[in-house]
Amino acid sequence: MKAKTQQGLLFVISGPSGVGKNTILNQVLKRRPDIVYSISATTRAPRGNERDGVNYFFLTEEEFEKQIEAGGFLEWARVYDCYYGTPRKTVEHHLQNGTHVLLDVDIQGAAQIRRNYSGSIQIFLFPPSFQVLKERLLGRRTEDPTAIEKRLSYIKQELSAVGNYDYVVVNDEITEACRRVEAIISAEESRVSRGYWQDLLKDFKLDKI
Sites of contact with ligand ADP (CB under 6 A): 15, 17-23, 136, 139-140, 171, 174, 177
Q: What is the amino acid identity at position 155?
A: I
Q: For residue 62, give the H/E element and its range.
A: helix 61-69
Can you say whether the dihedral through the CA atoms of 61, 67, 70, 75 is positive or negative?
Answer: negative
Longest dimension (CA), the chain: 69
Looking at 3, 11, 20, 106, which residue binds ligand 5GP (CB under 6 A)? Answer: 106
Decide: helix, strand or coil at residue 49. Answer: coil
35 binds ligand 5GP (CB under 6 A): no
Q: How far apart are CA 100 and CA 169, in angstroms?
A: 20
Report the partner that residue 136 touches, choosing among ligand 5GP, ligand ADP, none (CB closer than 5 to 8 A by kind): ligand ADP
Q: Which is nearer to ligand ADP, 6 or 22 (CB)?
A: 22
Looking at 77, 101, 133, 177, which residue binds ligand 5GP (CB under 6 A)? Answer: 77
Are the C-beta atoms of 169 and 177 separated by less than 8 Å? Answer: yes
Residue 143 CB contacts under 8 Å (≥ 6 apart), including other chains: 137, 151
Question: Interaction with ligand 5GP in 146-205: which residues (CB under 6 A)?
Answer: none
109 binds ligand 5GP (CB under 6 A): yes
- From 17, 19, 73, select the one nearest 41 (Cα to Cα): 73
133 binds ligand 5GP (CB under 6 A): no
Q: Which is nearer to ligand ADP, 21 or 180 (CB)?
A: 21
Q: Which is nearer to ligand ADP, 140 or 179 (CB)?
A: 140
**Distance in Å, CB of 102 to ligand 5GP, minimum:** 12
| Contacts to ligand 5GP by CB under 6 A | 14, 17, 40, 44, 75, 77, 79-80, 84-86, 104-106, 108-109
